[in-house]
Each structure stands twice: as C-alpha cells, then as structure tokens.
Structure 1
Amino acid sequence: MQLSTILTSIPLLASLMLSTTASVHAQSKSTGKVASDDVILEMSQAFKKGERKRLTSLLPQVRGHALEPWGAYWELRARLDSASAMEVQDFFSRFAGTYQEDRLRNDWLLLLGQRRDWANFSAELPNFRMNDDREVRCYAIAADQTLSGADLSANLKREWYAQKDADDGCNLAATRLYGAKKLTDADIWRKARLAMEANRPRAARMAAEIISPEAAAPLDEIVNNPTRYLSKRVTAGGKTGKEAVVLALIRMASNDPDLTASVLENHWSVHLNPEQRSWVWGVIGKQMAQRLTPDAMESFAKARDSELSNDHLGWKVRAALRQGQWKTVLEATNAMSPEVRQESTWVYWRARALLKLAKGDADRAEAAQLLQGIAGVRGFYEQLALEELGQRINTPARPVALSAEEKDGARLNTGLNRGLYAIHAGLRSEGVKEWNYSTNLHQRGGMNDRDLMAAADLACQHEVWDRCISTSDRTKIEIDFEQRFPMPFKDAVVQRATKIGLDPAYVYGLIRQESRFVMDAHSGVGASGLMQVMPPTAKWTAKKIGMTDFKPHQITDRDTNIAIGTGYLKLILDDFAGSMPMATAAYNAGPSRPRSWRGTTGGPVMEAAIWAENVPFAETRDYVKKVLSNTTNYAALITGQPQSLKLRLGNIGPRDASQLVANQDLP
C-alpha cells in the first residue's frame, strides 16, 4: 500500500501532513512517497551508524513531518551524554504524551543512574510511563536504598534473578543492599549459579565480586576449564570454596552431565551441604532431561524439590511425563513458586496428574477445577484443557460489531496513525513500537477490549496483519476470531495447499507463527517471506517440486514463497508419516533433530503433547505448540465445525531403526 493511499485513507495523518510545508507533502512520481520520507529514512540510517553531526544537519528538514518525533528523538538520543538537562526537558514538553518522549525518558533515567544523580533520577522516575526497563527498575531500588534506606531486597531479587546479562543498575542495587545486610551471601551465590547455568559468566563474576575479590578470583578458570579447576582441589575449603565448586560443577554439567554426576557422587558430594548438592543434582537432571536420557530421573531423585529452581522443576516434570511418573509430576508442580505454578502448562499437567492418581471424587473435582480455570481457545494447553473436560474447540460467537464511534477512536488516534505511517514508510521496528505503546496506553489501565478490537480493525484495514493479530490477541473477554486468525491471500494459500494435499488450516497456522503475514519478513538467520524459507531450503525444494525456473531473488515473491514453503512442509509431513507435531518441529529446527528426539526402537509410545513439551529447544517447543493451536483454530474457522487438537497431535512412538527415511537429504 503506497503512502499516498495511506494519507488519503487516514484522516488524522492527512491533516498532519497538510499542515507541513509544500516541500514536505510534495509527492515523488517515481516512488509515491512524501519527499521528506527519504530524509526520515536517512536519519534512521545515520542514527544506526552513530553519525551525530549528520543527524543534527538533517533535523531541520523534517520539521512538521508526521514522523518528526522520530527524527528529533534520534538526533537528541545520539548526543544525550552531552545534552543539557534543559534540552531534555524541552524535548519532553514538545513531544509530551508520545512514545518518543517516554523512550527518551527511559534513556535519560539510565544516564542519570550511571551518573549516580539520584535526586534528578527520583524526580523524573514517576513520569516514566512504560516502566519496561529492568535496569531502570534496579536503579530505582538503588536510589530508594540511598535516599530512604528501605528494605527492597525482595524486589531486587525478582529483577536481578530474571536478568539475562549483567548491567550496572542491578549490580549496583545488589551491592548496596548487600552492604546494608539486606542481601545474604546465599542470595548473591544464587545469582551466580543462575548466571553460570545460563552461560552468562560475566554476570556470575560480577555477582561473586559483590562478596569479595577473592570470591570472584577462580571464576575465569572455572569458566575456561572447570574439570581442571576441580582436579586441582582436594577439599572445598570454606563457604566460598564450596560455592566455587558448585559453580564449577554447574559449568561442567553443561558439557558432560554424566561425568559431572560421577564426579559429584564419588568426590564432591561429601564436601557440599544438602542444599548445594540438591542444586547441582538439579542442574545435572536438567541437562540429562534436555538430552532425553532416562538417567535424568535418577539425578532429580537425589535432589530435594524445595531446593530446586523453577527451571529445574520444569525439566523434572518433563522427564517424569516421558516415563509416566505421575506422582513425581504432581510433587514437582506443587513445589514450583506460586507464580510459575499458575502458568497454563503446569496447571494442565498438575490436573492430569491428579486425574491419573485420583483416589476419589475430591481429587477429580480438584482436577476439574484446575482445568476449568484455564480452558478455552486461547492457546495449546487451554485447548487441551477444554478437551479434557469433554468439549471441542469451536469458533467463539462474534462480538457485537464495532460502532462508528469506536472505529473513529482508533482512526483518529495519533499514535496508531503514526505507527502505521512508519511501518509503511519502511520503519517497521519503529512503527511497531509506537503502535504497541499506543495500544498499551502507557501501561495505565490500557485499552479495553472494544478499544483493542477497534485498533486491530484499523490495522487489518491497512493490511498490517501482525499488528492486527497481536492487538486482537490481547482482548480478555470479547474474542474476534476473524481478527485473531485472518486469512490474507486466501485463494493462493487454499489453492496451493489443496493441490498438494495439505490442510489449508495447517498452512495458515504455520504462516501466522512464522511471519504474521508480513510478506517481506526476514529472520536473523536469513529466512525470508511469508513462510520464512531459508535460501538453501528454497533452492532444494524448488528443484524437488519441479520449479526449474526458480531464482533466489524470488524467495519473497508471495506465490513463489507459498509454493516453496508448502512444498517443503508437505515433504517433511510425508517423511514423518503425517505427524503434524514432528513435521512442525522439523520445519523450525530441521528434520534431523525431531528424528533423534523421538528415540529409537524400544522406547515408549507417548502422547504427542508430552513429546512436544519435552522438545529440548525452547524456541521449537513453543513453536510446535503455537502452530498446532493456530491450526486447530483456523480449522474451526474454515470448516465451521468443532475441532480436536488431541486428534491432530496423536501419539509419537520410537523410530524403527530399520525403516529408511524417504528424503534423507531434507535440509
């Protein structure tokens, strides 16, 4: 859709543009773009390259442009470290209420925190509407501790433990709280363990340094060669020494859990206390569970559930499901923190365990109550819970049609319009951020269901399908399935899928997850188009399906991408004997991995839901569940008939080692 079309169909932006100078709204006959759109795009590139002077010279040319707030943000952000407080406040005033104002406030708060300017930080913090930056929240804890001496240790641990990479804000807050004796050595070492387990050695080192330089001293050797570090020690030697051994065993387990189990059992177990031993056994069990080895349960059995992390417990549940140990499933889910225990994944499996172990009506009633609490059409486990209660997946009744006033509320929303404009101008990332900010209404109450549906409708009307879907997905009570599960390019998709014997609902379910129907979508690893096809896969598949005239540049062409994507999906579906869960995993992670994940002759036949939950890669595990949930909902929409996710899942058994793979060269 050209920007000239956008301007005529979005009244607010049209009025914004009409207020600019003649040069701003002059149209380029060759591109259909507003002339200064090119300047905005140039500023975007200059910002990414850190060209401060170029940004400053270009800024006057975008005065009055609909995307001027972005240009002004980039220009000031690039020189924020040298900007005066007055310049920053002037920006806040000029662009009050915009996403750019609050984003710059985020940047400014980080800078004030780095400067330890707590007075100005605390004065500005209440104005930060998004409050979506963990480091800012940690700086707030550090500032509060400095100014009031309040005990904020629980808040800090929540932020710090969830943090992936080390940053100044959380480390500073932890250091100050530790100095004030509001954090213990055990709290600090827990952070170091979590960081080491997540392969974040810098974060582990920074945590240990809070205790003392001596505590952090062995970290480099532990990271580089944990086996050598352990081999040089006869005993652990004090609390710090024991924790260093724990970190070394954690690091060692990531590469060789079997060897680590032997080393722990035969030497280090007697030197560690029960809590430390439990944690290491939990790490070993998790690593074994991710490798789908039966010994995982033996390792978990040597640990106390109360001393394991939620992540350890999650993998204990998965390993127990594979072995049909329902009592362990129940015990491990009950040991999770209250917040994690309420996630639909663990609610569902806890309910299933109660049903398997039920000794009377009370157990069955508790299970039914758990299932009823999550049952619905919103996701994988919600749908499975619905079926466990004896119901099928149906298309919900459509909400009352949006009124003209409700549609106008979205149509005249400045932030939504600017988001759409940015997306169509080629600034998708910026447009998405602005759109999300506007639909969140700065996190203060947010939009209600009707507002969200009106915003989704606006995005759908302008074929910005990813914003249409994500916005409609957020409604809590009213559900518009046609917004949540749109079917663009229906003739092309249905015709191609039907021709090669694929369920169109499956194709739509996959595209919705892959690209949200963004035709020029590109992934970080090089996949392209609606069905996110990798170049080597496209070349191989084109040859396989007889597309002799395929050229690499055609990969983002709609019909070509659909033809190659569906062709590849059909080939892997046939290769896995029609198993949608396995074919879906193969589409995401490559065919060889699902073949290994299913096991070989002699292994158990299991529910595909258990198999999917045990997929070692978090991305693929989530992908399989979302694609099959999407597929079930699309099937309900397309057929108008009740659907079963369970039937689509089926069971997965071990691979017959003697059975030949149809397409051994599948990429």
Structure 2
Amino acid sequence: MHWLKILTPLCAASLLTVAAPLAQAQNSADAVLLDMQKAFLKRDRSTLAQLLPQASGHPLEPWAAYWELKSRLETASPDEIQAFLTRYAGTYHEDRMRNDWLLLLGKQRDWATFARVYPQFRMRDDKSVACYAVLVDAMQGRAAPNAGRQVRDLWLAQKEADDGCTLAAGQMYAQKQLSEADVWRRARTATEANRPKAARDAVAIVAPDAADQVAQVFASPAKYLSGQSKSRGRERKELALLALIRMAASDPDAATTQIEGGWGAQLDSEERNWAWAVAGKQAAFKLSPAANSYFGKVRRNEDLSDDLLGWKARAALRAGDWKAVHRAIDAMGPERTDPTWSYWKAKAMLAGRPNAEEKAEARQLLEDTAGSASFYEQLALEEIGQRISVPPAPVPLTAQEKASARANPGLARSLYAIQIGLRSEGVREWNYSTNLHQPGGLGDRELYAAADLACERHVWDRCINTSERTKTFADWNQRFPMPYRDTVLNKSRNIGLDPAYVYGLIRQESRFIMDARSGVGASGLMQVMPATARWTAKKIGLSDFTPGMINDRDTNITIGTAYLKLALDDFDGSMAMAAAGYNAGPGRPRNWRNGPVLDAAIWAENVPFSETRDYVKKVLSNTTNYAALITGQPQSLKSRLGTVGPRPSNEAEPMKDLP
C-alpha cells in the first residue's frame, strides 16, 4: 500500500509524476505513435500490427517497432528478433529488446541462446538477467570465485520475487556457494517488507517442506507462534522469527512480549538480535521512546542489516544516545560511507569528550563529506566553518560541443518524444543516450552540452538530471534553473515567503514540468491537489477560481505559494515541518513533532516515511542553494533548520482545517 495514495494533498512529483494525458501530436504521423503507445499499454496486438506500417520513416519509428515486437515476443522467431536488433543497432530500443529477450530465454531455460546473446547486452541494469548470467557461467564452468556473493547481493537487493535470482540462489545454495544464513536473511527481509511470495521462495530453498507455513506466518503470526513448540531446530526457529517480524510490523510491543515471554530464549543470539532490532525499527516508525531501549537489547550490531542499523542510529539520535549512534554506524557495511552516516558519525564522535585523535578523525570525516550537492554535505561544510556558495561557472560550451549534442540521434528522439507527450519513453531514451553504455560513457563536457540542449528546450528535468552528473565542475544555472523567475519571486515576496524555498520545493515536486500529473491528481509546477486548490483559493479570496484554472501556470504558483505560506505559519515558521506537511499532509508532522525538542536535522532523519524524509532534506538543501543563487551571498542550511518540538500547550493550532 502506498501511503501517498491515501492522504497527500500536494504530492511529490519526484515520486509520482507522469506525463500529462493530453495528446500533443503536431501531425497525423505523431498521432499514429500516440495511438500505438495506447495500444501497447492495452496489449492490443492487432492494433499495433495494423498501425506499424504507418510509422515507417517517423523519427520515433524505433519505438513503434519495439512496441509491436515486444507485444508478441513470446511467439516471435529468433530471426525476427535478431532482425530487429540489427535494424536498430546502437539504439536504446535494440538494447531494451535484448534485455526482454534475455529474460524470456532465462525463463525458457534456453541457456545456449542466452550465452550467445548476453555478451552484446550493454545496459546490464536488470538484476534478474544478471543472475541468469552468473548461473550460465557456472553451468559452463566459468563461474567467478565470488559467484555466490554476486547472486546473494543481487537477490537481497530485489524487492519482489523473480525467476532469475531465485533460480540462481537455489543453485548457488546447492553448490554451497550461498549459505543457509544468506537464504534465511532473504526470507527475513522479504517478510519485513510484507512480500510473502519472496519469503516463501527463499524458505523453499532451505526448507522445502516448510514453505507452505509461510502463508500461515503472514495470515496470523500470533496464531502461528501459539501453535508451535519451542523447539531449537533451525527451521522452526527461523519460521518463528518470521512470525515475530510480521507481528512487530503492526504491534512492536506485542512482539517484544513474545520475545521476553519465551521465544527469545529459544532463538540463538543472532536470531534474537534480529528480532529485537525489527521491534526497535517498528517502534521507531511510531516515534516511540521504547525504540532505543529495544535496540539496546541487541548484543551484537554486526548481526544486523544496514537498514536495521540505520534505524538503530536514528532511534539513538532521537534519544540523544551518541555512543549508540557511533556503534551502529561503525557496524554498517556499504551504507557507512553514505554522507548521512559519515556526518552523524562525526557528530557522535564530537558529542562526548573526544581526545585529540578522535577530534582529528571527526574533522577528516566532515572534510571528506563536505560539499553543496546534498543535505548532509551542506551540514558537514558548515561544521568545518564554511557556507554554501555558488561554485565558479565552467568554461562556456563551444559551438562544436553544442553541435555535437544536437547531432546525437538518441537525444533528438528523446526530445521529440517528450514534445509530443511520450515523456516516459523520452526520459528512458535520454538516460540511455547520456549514459552511453560502453567504456568511458559521456565525459563531463558532453554531459554539460546535453544538459544545455535540454535547458534550451525547457525540458528542465533532463537538464537538471544530466547536469548533476558532471564530476569535475558544476553549473548551478543548469542544476538549479529558475524558470518563471519574475512570477515566482513576485508572488512569493508579496506574501512574505522566501522565493528560494518556493524554488526548492518546485524543483523537488515537478522538476518544472508544467504539465506534470501525479497518480492521485495533483498537477502543475507545485503539484496542487484539486481539493487543496479549492480550499486555498477560498482562504485567499480568489473568488473566481474554477478547478480548470489550476493548470494555468500563474494560478498554480499563486495557489501553491499561498498554501505553502499557510502551512509554514501553521508550523511556526519551521521549513522542515512545512515541507513535510506539503508532502504528507499536515496531520502527520503535527503528530511527528510530539516528543523531545530536537535539532530539525535529527527530526527530519526520524521522519517515518522514507519518501517524506528524503523530500524534506532535498527541499531544504535545494532552498539553500537557490538562496545563494538569488542573493549572490553565502548561505546557511543550519539557519533554516532550527529545532522541532511539541506545540506549547497554551498555543492553539492556527488552522485546524488546513488540508
């Protein structure tokens, strides 16, 4: 269940934005492509076959041919597929079709053809295909020494069950290249994520006779536990742990009662540590003070996943337990190098009474993390005494560099697709063309030129996305564009709202896509929901407002900025809480503020919803950078954060009806 579908008044377009469902065909040939896309989505093979000849010679013909062949791939002959790959060699469509074919060959267990086709696959972005490839190498006696680890990492990274990695995991386990503990860990993480099929598939590998019990675990974990004897067998204990994980998802306190009431004594230390950590994580979702105490019962942090360790660190931050923060981060694997945890480790090291060596190590961590690209990079920069400033502009593009970007057929097709309303297809081809899946890929100057082309065409999301990938320089005019500058600045300042905050939010909401639509009906630059628009219009005295007006650029900005100002006032000027309210609805941050008074960075890091947590940090980081651009002066993120705590008991909520 996606919580945004329930209550979001103004949605995060970075999560849900889709192309506007308005056909923008400029001619009958464009209309054919739009009709073919609709037929493809409906799996209407006959219409696709009928329309395909009419797409011949169109700039987007590769898309038309791809849709038609993909719709009947299971019955197409190898010669037909190979003919397509040859005809559209070098394009996104060729490599995507090869990806589709490899998945089909894997499911058909046609390993000989798979082995022949796979070396030409350039994207290598499909985990299931990658698992099949490891399996084929093993079958042909070319297994890498770390084949089991490759499969394990791919498998654990997948959310849903799939054929490729499940099959490969089973084979690696049979060959003793994947441990029993690895397989049970997959069952645990799938159970925690409420994915019963993935959990069952994992259990079937190590305990095939017990796989059917997974359904009972998910249906009623309490009933399952009550019907089990407290045996010490690995299978019985692991299934009990899965039941405790499911129970914790809805009632962490009930799960801890089960652990303390007998099951904990039956589990081994690693299993018991995991059980307490899951209870701690679920309590942390509820912002319960018990979360840190549950995590405190974990005797060995190294038994936990990076995800559980992250929640242990968050709960410890909220409790002010800096030693626990430090220990949790030190036990992490790859996640430890993320700027989030580098920053908090340094803060934890400095929170006690550090000696000179510890101070030096913390300082080095902060210096290595410091920058302007993200929330924690900016906080680290301020910790070492600097402010966020606009970096020097790169050397301007030459006419030749610009011409090269314009001559790129993939970029041209992408922009054409976006122009006529095929945004999803255009974005995918743009990403492929700017990644160039071959050694080296595009260099910084080529990415800079591609971003310039997108900016010039006002395709702001591709402009930003591509510009962010340059490593040796940063053009902030590309990364933080300011379309409709006069309108945004005037409307913001007229109501006492920081225009940098508005731009920071728009950049995260819609990436300046004026015709953006969310899955729940939010629209425009500021992703305004119809009901919220009506309420806000009434609140500000916009008497002539009608629902259709929300798609007008100026009206969208008027309504969006007014709502943001009302939300900011409702949350006592807290930019962090107002951003959370804009994304998740005001009711949630009203509840999330209850508890201890916290540094707003700690409060934001403990927001239970990952989407909103990420949203708040990005909006505030964007805001700081936009302020540097607008004012021309160094800026502080910390000054925009402050603290978050309960509303004073004698202070009434300004607007209880704020939607």
**TM surpasses 0.5:** yes
**Cα deviation, residue 379, structure 1:** 0.6
Q: Is residue 227–residue 252 contact of structure 1 (8 Å, CA) maintained in 2?
A: yes
**For the aligned residues, what is the CA RMSD?**
1.3
> CA offsets per residue over residues 604-646 of structure 1, 9 Å max, x none?
2221101100000000000000000000000000000010000
Q: Is residue 47–residue 74 contact of structure 1 (8 Å, CA) maintained in 2?
A: yes
Alignment size in residue pairs: 634
Structure 2 residue 621 is matched with structure 1 residue 626: no
Could you say which residue in structure 1 is the equivalent of 2:639?
A: 647
**Cα deviation, residue 218, structure 1:** 1.3
Q: 2:630 is aligned with what amino acid? A: I
> Unmatched 5+ residue regions in structure 2?
1-22
The one of 485, 493, 500 equivalent to 1:498 is 493
Alignment of 1:98-137 (within 5 A): 98-137=91-130
The one of 141, 155, 159 equivalent to 2:150 is 155
Could you say which residue in structure 2 is the equivalent of 1:88?
A: 81
**Cα deviation, residue 149, structure 1:** 6.6
Q: Is residue 145–residue 176 contact of structure 1 (8 Å, CA) maintained in 2?
A: no
Could you say which residue in structure 2 is the equivalent of 1:521?
A: 516
The one of 547, 570, 577 equivalent to 1:552 is 547
- SS across alignment from 1:89: helix
Could you say which residue in structure 1 is the equivalent of 2:467?
A: 472
Could you say which residue in structure 1 is the equivalent of 2:608?
A: 616
Could you say which residue in structure 2 is the equivalent of 1:37?
A: 30
* Change beyond 3 A, Cα 1:275–1:66: same
Q: Is residue 279–residue 308 contact of structure 1 (8 Å, CA) maintained in 2?
A: yes
In structure 2, distance between residues paired with 1:500 and 1:467 = 31
**Cα deviation, residue 176, structure 1:** 1.1
- SS across alignment from 1:470: helix
In structure 1, distance between residues paired with 2:208 and 2:350 = 53
Could you say which residue in structure 2 is the equivalent of 1:9?
A: none
The one of 298, 311, 318 equivalent to 1:315 is 311
Q: 1:311 is aligned with what amino acid? A: D
* Change beyond 3 A, Cα 1:70–1:274: same
Q: Is residue 145–residue 177 contact of structure 1 (8 Å, CA) maintained in 2?
A: no
**Cα deviation, residue 141, structure 1:** 1.8
Q: Is residue 542–residue 550 contact of structure 1 (8 Å, CA) maintained in 2?
A: yes
**Cα deviation, residue 277, structure 1:** 0.2
Could you say which residue in structure 1 is the equivalent of 2:270?
A: 275
> Unmatched 5+ residue regions in structure 1?
1-29
The one of 175, 183, 194 equivalent to 1:180 is 175
> CA offsets per residue over residues 123-168 of structure 1, 9 Å max, x none?
1111111111111111112212222273511001100001000011
Could you say which residue in structure 2 is the equivalent of 1:14?
A: none
Could you say which residue in structure 1 is the equivalent of 2:6?
A: none
Q: Is residue 196–residue 218 contact of structure 2 (8 Å, CA) maintained in 1?
A: yes
- SS across alignment from 2:140: helix
Could you say which residue in structure 1 is the equivalent of 2:320?
A: 324
In structure 1, distance between residues paired with 2:343 and 2:231 = 42
Structure 2 residue 363 is matched with structure 1 residue 336: no
**Cα deviation, residue 659, structure 1:** 2.1
**Cα deviation, residue 351, structure 1:** 0.9
Alignment of 1:476-487 (within 5 A): 476-487=471-482
- SS across alignment from 1:442: coil
Q: Is residue 416–residue 434 contact of structure 1 (8 Å, CA) maintained in 2?
A: yes
**Cα deviation, residue 74, structure 1:** 0.5
Could you say which residue in structure 1 is the equivalent of 2:66?
A: 73
- SS across alignment from 1:267: helix
Structure 2 residue 580 is matched with structure 1 residue 585: yes
Could you say which residue in structure 1 is the equivalent of 2:52?
A: 59
* Change beyond 3 A, Cα 1:32–1:206: closer
- SS across alignment from 1:426: coil
Q: 1:626 is aligned with what amino acid? A: K
In structure 1, distance between residues paired with 2:360 and 2:207 = 53
Could you say which residue in structure 1 is the equivalent of 2:530?
A: 535
Q: Is residue 358–residue 364 contact of structure 1 (8 Å, CA) maintained in 2?
A: no
Q: 2:608 is aligned with what amino acid? A: P
User: Higher mean Cα deviation, 142-151 or 371-380?
Assistant: 142-151
The one of 112, 126, 131 equivalent to 1:138 is 131
Q: 1:533 is aligned with what amino acid? A: V
In structure 1, distance between residues paired with 2:543 and 2:141 = 72
Q: Is residue 24–residue 419 contact of structure 2 (8 Å, CA) maintained in 1?
A: no
> CA offsets per residue over residues 106-138 of structure 1, 9 Å max, x none?
000000001111111111111111111111111
Q: 1:645 is aligned with what amino acid? A: L
Structure 2 residue 416 is matched with structure 1 residue 424: no
In structure 1, distance between residues paired with 2:653 and 2:34 = 49
Q: Is residue 25–residue 31 contact of structure 2 (8 Å, CA) maintained in 1?
A: no
User: Higher mean Cα deviation, 452-461 or 295-304?
Assistant: 295-304
* Change beyond 3 A, Cα 1:270–1:557: same
Q: Is residue 149–residue 178 contact of structure 2 (8 Å, CA) maintained in 1?
A: no
**Cα deviation, residue 444, structure 1:** 3.2
**Cα deviation, residue 31, structure 1:** 7.5
In structure 2, distance between residues paired with 1:448 and 1:323 = 46
Q: 1:471 is aligned with what amino acid? A: T
Alignment of 1:188-337 (within 5 A): 188-303=183-298, 304-337=300-333
Could you say which residue in structure 2 is the equivalent of 1:21?
A: none
4+ residue runs over 6 A deviation: none
Structure 2 residue 630 is matched with structure 1 residue 638: yes
> CA offsets per residue over residues 319-369 of structure 1, 9 Å max, x none?
1111111111111100000x2110010000011111223532211111111
Q: Is residue 207–residue 235 contact of structure 2 (8 Å, CA) maintained in 1?
A: no
In structure 1, distance between residues paired with 2:79 and 2:478 = 45
- SS across alignment from 2:567: helix
**Cα deviation, residue 201, structure 1:** 1.0
Identical-residue share of aligned pairs (%): 60
Could you say which residue in structure 2 is the equivalent of 1:388?
A: 383
